[in-house]
Amino acid sequence: MSEPSPPPVTSAPADPTDAVAIPVAIPATAPIGSPTAAPAAATAEAAARTPRVALVTGAARRIGRAIALGLAQAGYDVAVHYGESASEAEQTVADIRALGQRAVALQADLSDPAACEALLECARVALGHVDCLVNSAARFEFDDADGFTPATLERHLGPNLTAPILLAQQLYRACQRDKRPGVVINLLDQKLENLNPDFFSYTLTKAALLGATRMMAMAFAPLLRVNGVSPGATMPSWKQDDTQFAHANRIALLGRSSLPDDIVQAVRYLAEASAVTGVNLIVDGGQHLMALDRDVMFLAPAPNLHPPPKPAA
């Protein structure tokens, strides 16, 4: 049963300096040089003096937390979105501040479109113009084609598809308003290149988000770049324990699939790669090149992971 919907968006208490965007002083005199080079140089100088801000959804735990910390290490101030993991979000914020960057925790129910539309503005009020949006939060529940129900798909649609699109839309409009470029990075899944029927509703929504990533890259260019990162078996998921995860992680051409640091590196690359848009960067040790009939977690010698047998007709 779903938890009652929390208030649309709230922010955790922060130091007053953390909630104020730092003004940028634009030089009154253009740098010496050619007429075409001068505006570009002035823009680059202003950008260098402007704090870079990232909003990472699902940043309280797991891969989202690793991405938030990795972007902070790269010099980004970070808005840490969370759904229900308030204490973990506050720890992520504290760890980012310890790295010398500003951070704020923002709570939002990503199944609520109004909360999604407000989230980016809350990040802007707290930290300034958002330069980078990482859609990391996702729902991951088991179902298959035979057990599919509209209700299961509906639970996945909000956080896995609708929220990333609405947030990207809001960032595009902010970039138009502020006349600044930006980038969206959607967390996808290597299984989109090697489909199997497990986690049916989850996979459907991720496949749709891959399509949306490419279409938004076309629609929002040249101001906003939109890319995807497809991890492999990166952390224990669903009912896996550490031993079962280690077995699944080894099922890859390189002898291991991705780890959180690999995903952080990919996100940081795409955040800075100004000529890259509409790309799905697969980071999985070659797992997507192996023809697998089941999700990789079910190939481990772990009977407890397998769905219960279906009742006789």
Q: Are strands 132-135 and 103-108 parallel, antiparallel or unpaired?
A: unpaired
Residue 27, preceding peptide bond in cis (omega within 30° of 0): no
Catalytic residues: 202
> Which residues make beta-bridge pairs with 133?
55, 184
Q: Is the separation of the CB atoms in 277 and 219 below 8 Å?
A: no
| DSSP per-residue letters across the chain | -PPPPPPSEEE----GGGGSPPP-PPPSSPPSS-TTHHHHHHHHHHHHHSPEEEEETTTTSHHHHHHHHHHHHTTEEEEEEESS-HHHHHHHHHHHHHTT--EEEEEE-TT-HHHHHHHHHHHHHHHSS--EEEE---------TTT--HHHHHHHHIIIIIHHHHHHHHHHHHHHHHT--EEEEEE--GGGGS--SSSHHHHHHHHHHHHHHHHHHHHHTTTEEEEEEEE-S-S--TT--HHHHHHHHT-STTSS---HHHHHHHHHHHHH-TT--S-EEEESTTGGGS--SS-GGGGSS-GGGSPPPPPP-
Q: How far is CA 282 from CA 30, 257, 267, in A?
A: 42, 11, 11
